[in-house]
Amino acid sequence: MRFCVLGSGSSGNCIYVSSGTTSLLVDAGLSGKETLRRLALAGLDHLSVKAILLTHEHGDHVGALGILHRKLKAAIYANSGTIQGVESSLGEKSLPWQVFSTGFPFQVGDIAVEPFTVCHDGLDPVGFTFTSGDVRIGIVTDIGMVTTVVREKLKNCSALVVEANHDEKMLKDAQRPWALKQRIAGRQGHLANSGAAELVVECAGPKLTKVFLAHLSSDCNEPELAVRTVNDALRGRLFDRVSVALTYADRPSEVWSSLDP
């Protein structure tokens, strides 16, 4: 399997996942033009994308959904809560939805997809795991707190994409409205570096080799601080084989492959 985080942050989110036979996008928050540009920049073929899966209905995750559906002729998968939110916010009433139920696995080509509940202020937000053969990838961004469900679903993964939105002290000291700080730090908000580190350590197993940190705040976090926080937690538990990488708002991440050494 391969994946690439094409963009991650409040300005837009989109992730490419492929088994080699089936390719899909998680979320559609970048513009159509920018999504295609970043796929090409990462050496990925947009014509191979056959489906778009949505985590939740916020604009930075669905803003280009209609455009990408028409450009790629890709099927669209979401749960009923997210569909309701998209139809309300975007005015897209005629999209050909493939409806999944949170907590129930389904297939997209040869990829087994499992959507699971996460804590965020959407109507029915989800994380995903993707499995093909013996390789499993876990993706969880926009999550206010870690639950037992999240921990269980992210175990036995070869690679993870985990939110590391903010440093708690930097958020506290930031020149932001108090209500916004409360939302971000709340149970339905976004995960801090320390929470990401705790989650990664709890889910790290013998297969895990790579962790990508996602949705980093531009003014309440520092990339080096986020990486160091998660790395220190991993080294403290002797998970030296796991490497930590960044994702970016303005460019694609590196492309991860299960065939890499």
In a domain, residue 243? The reply is yes
Give the per-residue pLDDT at 90.
Answer: 81
CATH number at residue 223: 3.60.15.10
Residue 93 pLDDT > 80, yes or no?
A: no
Mind listing the pLDDT tens digit for each residue in 97-107? 999 999 999 99
Query: Which residues 6+ apart lie within 8 Å of 173 measured at CB?
Result: none
CA 121 distance to own-chain centroid: 16
Domain total of the chain: 1
| Mean pLDDT, range 63-75, rounded to an integer | 95
Q: What percent of the chain has pLDDT over 90?
A: 94
Mean pLDDT throughout 34-52?
A: 97
Closest CA to 52 of 93, 24, 80, 32: 24
- Is 151 a member of any domain? yes
Residue from 9, 21, 41, 37 nearest 254 by CA: 41
Retrieve residue 26's tokens.
């998680």
In a domain, 261, yes or no: no
**Residues spanned by the domain of 155:** 2-256
Beta bridge partners of 106: 113
